[in-house]
Amino acid sequence: MIVEKLIFDDYLKIGVETIDQEHSFIFDKINSIIDLNSKKPLTRNEIFDALHDFQEYQKYHFLNEEKLMNEIHYPNYKNHKEIHDKLKNIINLELYTLQYGTDIFDIDEFLIFIKSWWDIHICNQDVRISRWKQKMDELRNYV
């Protein structure tokens, strides 16, 4: 199966520079896994290493985003963090399966899932942080 690469289009930019840079880096990481796998199907160990590396960066990004939400007193913090935690748990489970399980790991299925997760999460959730931040910045100018 050919998994299409992700494009970090303008509609995915939320307008907070550091967050946009990290999102773009996450897309690069997903694309490099797609690239590697399309050249030569990855072994179980190679998939584990790629996913582990991805998980580490993702955790770093979630932490930064959660710090920002705290700083600006984002009202939906708890719910947003729970969504991050859910994805971290899903990937931890995949890593566990890769290391200890014996059933076939469908990398294409995983790549399609992670691509849509990021697309939907940025558009439905992360963009709301940016809107709230803008409101707070405006307020600071008036008060």
- Catalog residues that contact Fe ion under the rule CB under 5 A: 65, 126
H helix count then E strand count, the chain: 5, 0
- From residue 40, alpha-carbon distances to 49, 71, 110, 115, 143 in Å are 15, 44, 17, 20, 59
> Which C-beta is closer to Fe ion: that of 36 or that of 83?
83
Taking the complex as a whole, how short is the minimal distance between the CB of residue 33 and Fe ion, in angstroms? 18
Q: How far is CA 141 from the centre of its chain?
A: 32
Q: Any idea what DSSP says for residue 68?
A: H
At a CB cut-off of 8 Å and minimum separation 6, what does 25 contact? Answer: 57
Q: How far is the CB of 124 from Fe ion (least distance, A)?
A: 10
| Residue 32 beta carbon to Fe ion: minimum distance, rounded to whole angstroms | 19
Q: How far is CA 15 from CA 2, 75, 83, in A?
A: 32, 19, 21
Residue 63 or 136 with smaller CB distance to Fe ion? 63
End-to-end CA distance of the chain: 56
**Minimum distance of Fe ion from residue 79's CB (angstroms):** 11
Please say which residue, 18 or 92, places its beta carbon nearer to Fe ion.
18
Nearer to Fe ion, 65 or 94 (CB): 65
Q: 94 or 126, CB closer to Fe ion? A: 126
CB of 68 to Fe ion, least distance (A): 10
Please name the residues in contact with 32: beta carbons below 8 A apart, sequence gap of 6 or more.
none
C-beta nearest to Fe ion: residue: 126
